[in-house]
């Protein structure tokens, strides 16, 4: 998958905006791992002689844009969208029930970890919109989660391409040996998210007390 994306976008006008558009579509439910797209964006940036930092910023905007579209669809059409038979192909009732249980248990804090739940991410954002969660709250929580992961994956791709250049075989070997990188990133983000959630709970309890 990684090699196919590189071959498709390398040395083309879409080497920068291609990953951006794919990330927007991923936010709409495209079953493609975001980390692969982000790593590809970093590799293409290195190949084009770009710094990884502005590319990471653009990819962060793409991630938030795709998520916001799902949120705003939920806000505009609400429960009708979730009840529509066409929606059930993407968000079956069982998945919707699981999302509702997450909101009942954790409230809007679930938006912090939704980014790392690929099968539930789009339903969570749509449900948040249908529940009329304030957009600024949604954007701040989702944006924070994306800020913790997007730059790391873009930097990783940039570093890999700089180290192995166009040797795809060595690159694939390095990727297979560093699969732990993504797991470590996700684990760290989840830990940070839990700490933020606990801090918010304690802060709320102190204010209510």
pLDDT in tens, 77-86: 876 666 665 6
User: Average pLDDT for residues 98-117, to the nearest whole number?
Assistant: 75
- In terms of residue numbers, what domain contains 165? 2-208
Neighbour-count burial of 110, counting CB atoms closer than 10 A to its CB (0-12 exposed, 13-18 middle, 19+ buried): buried
Q: Which of 135, 159, 146 is nearest to 51 (CA)?
A: 159
Mean pLDDT (the chain, rounded) = 79
Note the pLDDT of residue 84. Answer: 62
- Tokens standing for 112? 């912090």
175 in Cβ contact with 2 (< 8 Å): yes
Note the pLDDT of residue 45. Answer: 94
- pTM for this predicted structure: 0.78
Confidence of residue 194 (pLDDT cuts 50, 70, 90): low
In this model, does residue 186 exceed pLDDT 60? yes
Tens of pLDDT along 22-40?
A: 999 988 877 788 888 998 9
| Number of domains present in the structure of the chain | 1
Note the pLDDT of residue 130. Answer: 84
In angstroms, the CA 188 to CA 186 distance is 5
The three-state (H, E, C) secondary structure of the chain, written as one string: CHHHHHHHHCCCCHHHHHHHHHHHHHHCCCCCCHHHHHHHHHHHHHHCCCCHHHHHHHHHHHHHHHHHHHHHHHHHHHHHHHHCCCHHHCCCHHHHHHHHHHHHHHHHHHHHHHHHCCCCHHHHHHHHHHCCCCHHHHHHHHHHHHHHHHHHHHHHHHHHHHHHCCCHHHHHHHHHHCCHHHHHHHHHHHHHHHHHHHHHHHHHHHHHC
In angstroms, the CA 196 to CA 112 distance is 9
User: Average pLDDT for residues 137-153, to the nearest whole number?
Assistant: 88
User: Average pLDDT for residues 156-164, to the nearest whole number?
Assistant: 87
In angstroms, the CA 10 to CA 109 distance is 38
In this model, does residue 183 exceed pLDDT 80? no
In angstroms, the CA 95 to CA 122 distance is 11
């Amino acid at each position: 998958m990684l090699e196919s994306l590189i071959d498709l976008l390398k040395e083309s006008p879409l080497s920068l905006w291609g990953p951006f558009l794919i990330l927007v579509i991923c936010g709409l439910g495209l079953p493609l791992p975001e980390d692969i797209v982000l790593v590809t964006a970093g590799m293409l940036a290195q190949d084009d002689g770009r710094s990884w930092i502005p590319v990471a910023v653009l990819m962060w905007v793409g991630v938030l844009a795709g998520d916001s579209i799902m949120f705003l669809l939920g806000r505009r059409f609400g429960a009708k969208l979730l009840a529509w038979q066409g929606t059930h192909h993407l968000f079956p009732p069982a998945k919707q029930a699981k999302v509702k249980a997450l909101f009942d248990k954790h409230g809007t804090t679930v938006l912090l970890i939704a980014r790392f739940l690929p099968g539930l991410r789009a339903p969570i954002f749509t449900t948040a919109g249908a529940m009329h969660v304030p957009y600024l709250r949604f954007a701040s929580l989702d944006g924070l989660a994306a800020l913790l992961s997007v730059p790391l994956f873009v930097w990783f791709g940039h570093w890999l391409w700089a180290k192995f250049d166009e040797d795809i075989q060595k690159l694939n070997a390095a990727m297979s040996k560093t699969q732990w990188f993504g797991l470590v990133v996700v684990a760290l983000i989840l830990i940070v998210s839990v700490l933020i959630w606990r801090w918010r709970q304690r802060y709320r309890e102190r204010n209510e007390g």
